[in-house]
Amino acid sequence: MIEYELAAPEGCNLIFGQSHFIKSVEDISEAIVGSVPGVKFAVAFAESSGKRLVRYDGNDKELISKATEHVLKMGAGHTFLALIRGAFPINVLNAIKNVPEVVSIYCATANPVRVFLQQSGESVAVLGVSDGLRPVGLEGEEERKERVKFLRELGYKRG
């Protein structure tokens, strides 16, 4: 088993998933832009047949470089990585899930991610991911109030 550290650049979130067709790159890009106009993003996709290239799209050179680097290093066919800056996964996730080629989403986060891979010949499979760190305790009343306030400050809840 191979353990790969997948980290989003500072101030970014990542969405890591599996898709099944070269058309995914453009369709995921359109889903992101259609959800949050003006968002900075990159999408990289590991083509697993034909030319077997890492296909990409986006509007931010730094994010394109990082996304393609990660997908190429992991080498898992039909996986994609979207990096977004200026939006949260919650803003684009449903649109990405509704892309017909998207098979599954492994994680959507700003946390450090570890991807567990298994290689067999020239194929690499994603066995799973670890998103963030273990909990250290139970939320108390003060932490609960902070959470409620935070969600309202972001505009995700009213009242």
Domains of the chain: 2-154 (3.40.1520.10)
Tens digit of each residue's pLDDT, the chain (159 residues): 999 999 999 999 999 999 999 999 999 999 999 999 999 999 999 999 999 999 999 999 999 999 999 999 999 999 999 999 999 999 999 999 999 999 999 999 999 999 999 999 999 999 999 998 889 999 999 999 999 999 898 888 887
Give the helix/strand (H/E) hosting 19.
strand 12-19
DSSP one-letter string for 108-130: EESS-EEEEEEEETTEEEEEEEE
- Amino acid identity, residue 159? G
